[in-house]
Amino acid sequence: MDWRVLAAIHPVTRWDGVSDLGSEEFDAVHSFYDPRAPPDRSRVQGYREELARDVVAYPSFDNTFALLLKLLRGFPSKDVDRVVANVLETVVTESPPPHWAILAFDLLRERMGEHPSPRPRWSYSSEKSFSEIEAGNAQDFVREWPDFKQRHGLKPQPIQPPAK
């Protein structure tokens, strides 16, 4: 097993494994919406079942959660979908919700057969500040979440985040 995958499936070393699986993964939001930047799943293709089991058993509440979901693109798992919905239900009430949750939400939408539109991104030529764009994306997530749950008949339950 590739050491990066082995590291990614353990909560304590998850960041080390996920962050080393490819430099493209560091820019998660950009690469999610950029069709020219397909994720490199070749290193994890044979291990996605293990990664999915780990997401279900030990969901994280940080950037690694969204990055693992990116690695699980195209890998169907109702258990993963359920845990993602539970994690999002837990953090949607935070003010503001964490930025990784917005990406995780769009990845869940994709997993459920939807085609999310690209969210606004900040650039030096943007009329809005980075904070304004992030705040708008967070507001959209909070507004869209109840409709998404209803469309898909989801009844997620908040879960206890791991101790920090």
Q: What is the pLDDT of residue 117?
A: 87
pTM (2 d.p.): 0.83
Reported as type and span, the H/E element at residue 48 is helix 48-57
Any long-range contacts for 151-156 (C-beta under 8 Å, 24+ apart)? 152/112, 154/85, 156/82, 156/85, 156/86, 156/88, 156/89
State the greatest distance between any 2 C-alpha atoms of the chain, in Å, as a whole number.
Answer: 46
What is d(CA 97, CA 94) in angstroms, rounded to the nearest whole number? 5
pLDDT of residue 141: 96
pLDDT of residue 35: 43
- Concatenating the DSSP letter of every residue in 99-131 gives HHHHHHHHHHHHHTT--PPPPP---TT-SS-HH
Q: Dihedral angle at the C-alpha atoms of 86, 91, 93, 97, nearest 10 degrees?
A: -140
Each residue's pLDDT tens digit, 84-132: 999 999 999 998 999 999 999 999 999 999 999 888 887 777 788 888 9
